[in-house]
Amino acid sequence: MLEITEAQLAATIDHAILKPEFTRADVDAELSIAREWGVFSVCVRPSDIPHAVDQLAGSGVAVGTVIGFPHGTTSTAAKVAEARAAIEAGATELDMVVNIGWLRSGFDDAVVEDIRAVKDAAGSLVLKVILETSLLDEEQIARGSRLTEAGGADFVKTSTGFAGGGATVPHVRLMRENVSDAVQVKASGGVRSLATALEMLDAGATRLGTSGSATILGELRSILAGGTAAGRVDESSY
């Protein structure tokens, strides 16, 4: 028997609604999934924040968004402005992309300053820093995790889902080992099944970024009800 309830698993999920080609109808369908399954939050495109806040009012599902997405190469000033606009629009969590080139170049002070500036704009709201682990080696992932904490962020996150790779158990463990208990780990990118979700949580993640929420939670519901786990999700999804 799995030692996790559906509500407990749902409380770890940020349902991703980030595909650039999504129409309003597509967004609404995904918001309905988030509401139906009672996930912790949605992570929407910045332009969708007001609509998501309106559609999810009273549901208990939080609205988050992305900053400097998906490459992380916008200026710090632009990231700060984007963060402030997102908060004004109603977002309560921000997932910013680290400046990957700076991290790979060893510009540690610049990376910390970039993160800290966005955290200052976020204030008490949750800030997650996306490292894009598929573009980094293990030393860079470990250092990026430490720099994330030095910048004051609340989470270090694996991936955008748009760089040809996603979360892996070894990378989640490495990130967990390189931050204190004050910083949490979010696994995202390629988390599309119950087995993968549970592996990421076991490795030290406390939040999961996925567009496969219905599949993951549906598999768990089936198992807990004594049925057979089943389900499929678009393999091109976040």
Contact 147, 116 (CB under 8 A): no
Neighbours of 78 (CB within 10 A): 12
Residue 157 annotated to the active site: yes
Reduce the DSSP state of residue 129 to 3 states and report it: strand
Residue 79 annotated to the active site: no
Reduce the DSSP state of residue 69 to 3 states and report it: coil
Tokens 């204190």 belong to residue: 180
- The active-site residue, picked from 79, 119, 128, 157, is 157
Helical pair 194-203 and 169-177, crossing angle rounded to 10 deg: 20
- The active-site residue, picked from 14, 95, 114, 154, is 95
Contact 212, 178 (CB under 8 A): no
Residue 181 annotated to the active site: no
Question: 235 Cβ partners below 8 Å, 6+ apart?
Answer: 192
Cα dist from 113 to 120, 127, 180, whole Å: 10, 14, 19
Which residues are catalytically annotated?
95, 157, 186
